[in-house]
């Protein structure tokens, strides 16, 4: 669980619920090729703190 003393809540607004559902289903689904293609195509937009 997240520490209540240090966690931060952020409000998320969904402008296009249909598109959000499509992307969520693709990323969480069983089919790997579409997920891999999406990740490779959008990896440059990721903000990774590594």
| 21 within 8 A of 28, measured Cβ to Cβ | no
Q: To the nearest whole number, what is the mean pLDDT of the chain?
A: 88
| Chain-centroid distance, C-alpha 14 | 12
**pLDDT > 70 in the chain, percent:** 92
Task: Note if the pTM is more than 0.95.
Answer: no
For residue 47, the model assigns a pLDDT of 73
Q: Determine the pLDDT at residue 50.
A: 58
* Residue 42 DSSP class: H
CB-based contacts of 23: which residues, under 8 Å, 6+ apart?
A: 38
SS3 at position 46 = coil
Choose among 13, 7, 31, 50: nearest CA to 39.
Answer: 31
Domain limits, the chain: 15-45
């Amino acid at each position: 669980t997240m520490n209540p003393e240090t966690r931060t809540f952020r409000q998320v607004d969904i402008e296009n619920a249909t598109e959000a559902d499509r992307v969520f289903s693709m990323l969480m689904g069983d089919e790997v090729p579409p997920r891999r293609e999406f990740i490779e195509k959008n990896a440059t937009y990721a903000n990774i703190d590594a």
